[in-house]
Amino acid sequence: MLKNERCVRRCECFLSTQTGRLLELSAIPERYSNCDFSSYKTSGSSALELAKLTIQKWAEECPVDRKGLLIVGRCGVGKTHLAVSALKKIVEKGVHSLFCDYRELLKQIQDSYNPSVQATELEVLRPVFETEVLLLDDLGAVKPSEWVWDTVSLILNTRYNANSTTIVTSNFELGDSEADADLTPVRAAARQETLRDRIGERMISRLCEMCRIIAVPGKDYRQSFLSVGSR
């Protein structure tokens, strides 16, 4: 730098204020306000540690790497904890991000059809379409219908076409259509539902193209707490 040359740098207080504002706009629920990678406990599980490190590395590379994440696993293994931790890391970089509960989003869209409600469907969906990084939590939690499939298709296709980054969590395994084809009707009826059942074959294919799939194995830690508390 030349002797009389000046440069302007944003002070740390400005950056801190900006991050705080972006965190507020991200609409992360209060329940997850203290979630970060350091507070995620793997309890000595190498599989959970690998899932955590993979998601953490992805968050460090985002938004340069625009491919999203599809985090799957049973209830209570900390999928949302990890997803929120990643979202916070991204927000710290100044990236506009949004947490969206799948069930609540569908309810807001349905409510928008009521003439007495001020918000229109487009107004509900615009932030979901336009945010740089979207966390769609608990995909598949609503019983499927043609309307649900159409709505999921609209959301995912819009973000896909915009090349926008999407983080998705789900309690359902992806499922295997080829394996299902070999099942007898009785076995097919008895098997557990999959994400493919919940959102349709086409959207599973789209998600697999949009996202890296991260499986988070393990037992429901909430049930573990209940067991300990009942002793």
Question: Are residues 59 and 36 in contact, defined by beta-carbon separation less than 8 angstroms?
Answer: no
20/38 Cα distance (integer angstroms): 19
Where in the chain are the domains?
A: 44-229
Which H or E element spans position 25?
helix 12-25
Residue 133 near residue 165 (C-beta atoms within 8 A) = yes
What is the reported pTM? Answer: 0.84
What is the per-residue DSSP string for 153-203? HHHHHHHHHTT-EEEEEESS----HHHHHTS-HHHHHHSPP-HHHHH-HHH
Which one is predicted more confidently, 13 or 6? 13
* 75/218 Cα distance (integer angstroms): 9
* Model confidence pLDDT, tens digit, residues 8-62: 444 556 556 788 899 999 999 999 999 999 999 998 999 999 999 999 999 999 9
**Measured distance CA(196)–CA(176) in Å, rounded:** 8
Answer yes or no: is pLDDT of 196 > 90. yes
For the cut 50, the answer to whether the pLDDT of residue 1 exceeds it is no
Q: Are 87 and 132 in contact (CB under 8 A)?
A: no
Q: Which pLDDT belongs to residue 4?
A: 57
- Please give the average per-residue pLDDT across 170-180, as a whole number: 76
Is the pLDDT confidence value at 230 over 50?
no
Of the candidate ranges 116-130, 162-176, 190-204, the one whose mean pLDDT is the lowest:
190-204
Distance CA 224, CA 136 (A): 26
CATH code for the domain defined by 44-229: 3.40.50.300
- Tokens of residue 152, six digits: 């999921």
